[in-house]
Amino acid sequence: MADTGIGNAAAIVGIGRAMAWRDDPDGPKTPLQLGALAAVRAMRAAGIKRSEVGALFTGRTPQSYMVLQYNQALLNELKIGPTFNSEVTAHGGGALGTLQLAALALHAGVIDYALCVTNEASGIWMDQVGSNAAWEGDLQFEAPYGASTPSLYAQFACRYMHETGTTPEMCAQVAVENRRWALDHPHAAMRHKGPITVEDVLASRMIASPLRLLDCAVWYPGGIATAVVLTRAELARSGRHAEVTWLAGFGQCSTHEWVGERMGGWGFAPLEDGPNLVRTGTAVAAKQAYAMAGVGPSDMQIAQSSAPFTFANLIILEELGFCPPGEGGRFVADGGIAYEGGLPFNTIGGYLSFGQVAQGLYNLQEVVDQIHGRAEGRQVPNVERGIVHGHGGPMACHSVVIVSKEPTR
Amino acid sequence: MSAGTTTAGAGVTDWSRGVPLRAGDWFIGLYQPSPETAGFWQAVRRHELVLKWCAGCGKCFHPKRIVCTDCGSPDLTWRRASGRGTVYSFSEVHRAPSSDFAGSVPYTVGLVALEEGVHLFTRFVAEPGPVAIGAPARVDFRVLETGQLLPVFLVGTAA
């Protein structure tokens, strides 16, 4: 990729979060309530006024707040008047995509500040287990066969394990490590469940072979909104903002919509060999991001992924460059992401043990918090930069963002 | 295809459970045969499996394709498939996505790699079985749990 100079051209200067739970004593909250709250907190952290927001990018419409053009609902609530304003909808991958579009506009110099907001409260308002197959599967060609969401992802798992020799034990190790990290996070969904072992995973009930209960992400029993304010390099360096985190590099690649239509070579670079059931657009996105930032996997002190099943995390670790293709299972089995001494990976507990909120920037927030030393109870020493992977289902959309305490070049 | 199982409105299968999805006009093409897939479902009623075919490229495509992704031709026509293929990937479902399917678990869904180079999501039936990657499979037509007639694949015989 040509060096366009966009790496380190934008920075995060404000971040805000709002959370709610199913059993809140003051009653349930909607994603819009949480989104507005997070947005206000992010603007306050950045020290900017409503009038300065040049772009509003939201993730896709929350499943628990289905309106057309959710960005309009939020804009209306905040009474802002941005130049650019849109949902960014590469499934869950769109969440990190909001930052990428913001960076493009900021780098071009057409705006000074962008506000990116993701929010979802499906855990409060919906039966996720029952409803999710309607989102992940093709209603005409897949759902009538009785395809559950795990059974759609299981197609990848079955083929991946077949082609790479990855064992259920290797996959289970991901769940074990994610749970260990979740024990350190005050808001992780599975924190109160205590640690688990490989044996526990293998003994949990079969959901859709080869995926057992503990191979699957847990739905977060609440809602989370995360808002981020970004600005361009010149303003980030102006001294106006209390905290700066550089958007060192980013990439994105989306390849299909339904599992059943994923197959078949695209026939053009860099997708000659796929997508198939063992390779995703993450490798493409990561390559873009590393090239933009001028760094590599060994320069990352921390990594987060929103992959919602054990085996999927192995594929993502491979494609983010932490181990060779097909070696994710052996990498993890050999302690590659071990809580003690391995790559700090999914340090909030991942989708498996922190829980998934369907979409969000909370994995990004974790890396920002780690970089600035406020990941209380789970702080990784000396985090200078980290990589965040955002997955849009089913293994279809992949966003990668590298954030850094200092510009990487 | 009878209206009751495939069109939005009375009797439509609600896949969402939980909070019911309201299938408005914007779901046309998802819940029901749309203009580009109607021929597929008409063929299923005749117990025939058909695929989209580009006369220019001689390539077969998934029944949903609207244009040839190689040459861009919009003139895709229906061509009968051999009905033979192999198991590409599969999963035995133990927790059903809805009450419709709860009485049938475990059952096997997966991707069949057809001789024509197209992959289809389907139900695998272990007759004679077993279901394994690479095992030969051939098409059959069965009424599944929601009352819809669907192409399924019998695994273990190439006949």
Report pLDDT digits (tens) over B87-145. 999 999 999 988 889 999 999 999 999 999 999 999 999 999 899 999 999 999 999 99
3-state per-residue secondary structure call for chain A? CCCCCCCCCEEEEEEEEEEEECCCCCCCCCHHHHHHHHHHHHHHHHCCCHHHEEEEEECCCCCCCCCCCHHHHHHHHHCCCCCEEEECCECECHHHHHHHHHHHHHHHCCCCEEEEEEEECHHHHCCHHHHCHHHHCCCCCCHHHCCCHHHHHHHHHHHHHHHHCCCHHHHHHHHHHHHHHHCCCCCCCCHHHCCCCHHHHHHCCEEECCEEHHHECCECCEEEEEEEEEEEHHHHCCCCCCCCEEEEEEEEEECCCCHHHCCCCCCCCCCCCCCCCCCCCHHHHHHHHHHHHCCCHHHCCEEEECCCEHHHHHHHHHHCCCCCCCCHHHHHHCCCCCCCCCCCECCCCHHHHCCECCCCCHHHHHHHHHHCCCCCCCCCCCCCEEEEEEEECCCCEEEEEEEECCCCC
Interface probe, candidates B89, B120, B139, B140, chain A, greatest A C-beta count within 10 A: B89
pLDDT of A264: 66
Check whether A133 has a pLDDT greater than 70: no
Name which residue leads in pLDDT, A343 or B69: A343
Report pLDDT digits (tens) over A92-111. 888 999 999 999 999 999 99
- Residues from chain B that touch A277, judged by Cβ atoms under 8 A, are 88-89, 111
Mean pLDDT value across residues A130-144 = 79
- Residues from chain B that touch A142, judged by Cβ atoms under 8 A, are 121
Is A264 within 8 Å of B117 when comparing Cβ atoms?
Answer: yes
Q: Hey, which residues 245-284 in chain A have their CB within 8 Å of chain B?
A: 258-264, 267, 277
Check whether B23 has a pLDDT greater than 50: no
Tell me the pLDDT of chain A averaged across its residues. 94
Q: Hey, which residues 85-144 in chain A have their CB within 8 Å of chain B?
A: 125-131, 133-134, 137-144
Check whether B5 has a pLDDT greater than 50: no
Check whether B10 has a pLDDT greater than 50: no
Name which residue leads in pLDDT, A271 or A87: A87
- Residues from chain A that touch B109, judged by Cβ atoms under 8 A, are 145-147, 151
pLDDT of B146: 86
Check whether B28 has a pLDDT greater than 70: no
Percent of residues, chain A, with pLDDT higher than 70: 96
Check whether B31 has a pLDDT greater than 80: no
Reported ipTM: the value is 0.94
DSSP B116-129: TS-EEEEEEE-SS-
Report pLDDT digits (tens) over A7-25. 999 999 999 999 999 888 9
Token pair in block for residue A199: 């044996």
Shortest Cα distance, chain B CAs vs residue A47, angstroms: 40
pLDDT of A372: 98
Is A130 within 8 Å of B98 when comparing Cβ atoms?
Answer: yes
- Residues from chain B that touch A141, judged by Cβ atoms under 8 A, are 63-64, 120-121
- Residues from chain B that touch A267, judged by Cβ atoms under 8 A, are 70
Q: Hey, which residues 327-356 in chain A have their CB within 8 Å of chain B?
A: none
